[in-house]
Amino acid sequence: DPECWESFGAGDVMSGPVGSGEAHAGVLPEWFGPHWWTGRDAVLVAAAVILLPLVLQKHVDSLRYTSALSILLAAVFMLITMGIAVYTVFTGTAKMPRMLPDFSTLASPFELFTAVPVIVVAFTFHFNVHPIRAELSKTSDMKSAVRISLVLCAAIYAAVGFFGFLLFGDATMPDVLANFDRSSGSGVPQALNDAARLSYALHLVLVFPLLHYSLRVNVDELLFPGRRPLAADTRRFVALTAVLMGLLYALAIAIPSIWTLFQYSGSTFAVCISLIFPGAIVLRDVHGIAKRKDKAMAAMMITLAVITSSIAIASNVMSSIKGEVKGVSAGAS
């Protein structure tokens, strides 16, 4: 579930990552020390309480301002990361990144495929298209909105990845946010590192309600087909929201590694939603509108998706058996 990703990210930033193999404190433990109320459990409960008014919105249009603010905060994080990286270049403290993947072992080429599911996850938000389009004053604007969203995401992800790797080199963690702690070695005031983490943590929190909206609608249609609209049934709306929030909290606590979640979810359901299902729809061509080149591209897309995800899953399983937490070198490459 994409909402689990937001929960993991916020928990990692504020309380520190769990099971990463290297100690990187979160913002709260750095400020106040290790206490029960700075731990992951308490932070996620506090975030859920703060989010409750937004999660209980019955129309996606009500989230337009918080969604716009979340995009602005992501851009702020990107600019701060860029600024710190440029500063380290001029001061000579930047770490020369490795330009090519490490092929020192036989498994290294296959580990490159573990980065693909993470990229797929980053662009898998198809489920928001229909709810947003339904509430647009001009439904034709949806195509432009999708294109702008893809360009923004690609630009922000690429910039953060490049400048983050320039800052931390081979020490870059799967969740680069964890690198912005007191051991970052960037040579800039810690307040700037904290600003980078806090801006993105708030971004993750504000994205959560939009994802939860689509999840709730789809689960409702699956469990209660033919019922009156969810927004018109307050009791069902509140009950379903409470159950989903509880399940998401339990998952965020039970699975400590965000990289593991990205890898397995990205190589399974995200690949299906983004590549396999759309390709299958084109091949089925119920309305007889697909051209030969469309079907050829759909078949190639499905084939590549199956091969890539299969290799990624096999690599992840082998890594789990060995007890390794990989992804730093492969993801950064």
**Pick from 186, 176, 171: which is nearest to 85 by CA?**
186
**Pick from 17, 4, 288: which is nearest to 176 by CA?**
17
**Domains of the chain, residue spans:** 2-256
Give the pLDDT confidence score for residue 330 in this predicted structure.
35
Give the pLDDT confidence score for residue 282 in this predicted structure.
93
CB atoms inside a 10 Å sphere around CB 148:
10
Structure tokens at 312: 């990624």
Q: pTM to 2 decimals?
A: 0.73
Phi, psi dihedrals of residue 209, rounded to the nearest 5°: -60, -35
Give the pLDDT confidence score for residue 283 in this predicted structure.
93
Asked whether the beta carbons of 156 and 74 are under 8 A apart, the reply is yes
Q: Which residues contact 44 (CB under 8 A, 6 or more apart)?
A: 7, 10, 11, 249, 252, 253
Q: Which residues contact 203 (CB under 8 A, 6 or more apart)?
A: 70, 71, 73, 74, 77
Return the amino acid letter for 267: S
* pLDDT digits (tens), the chain, 333 positions: 555 555 556 666 777 655 444 455 677 777 777 777 777 778 878 888 888 888 898 888 888 888 889 889 888 888 988 888 888 888 777 666 676 766 666 666 676 777 777 777 778 777 788 888 887 878 888 888 888 888 988 898 888 888 888 888 777 776 677 677 655 555 667 777 778 888 888 887 888 888 888 889 889 988 998 888 888 899 999 999 999 988 888 877 777 666 667 777 777 888 888 889 989 999 999 888 989 999 999 999 999 889 888 888 887 777 767 655 444 433 333
Give the pLDDT confidence score for residue 236 in this predicted structure.
93
Phi, psi dihedrals of residue 52, rounded to the nearest 5°: -50, -45
Give the pLDDT confidence score for residue 333 in this predicted structure.
32
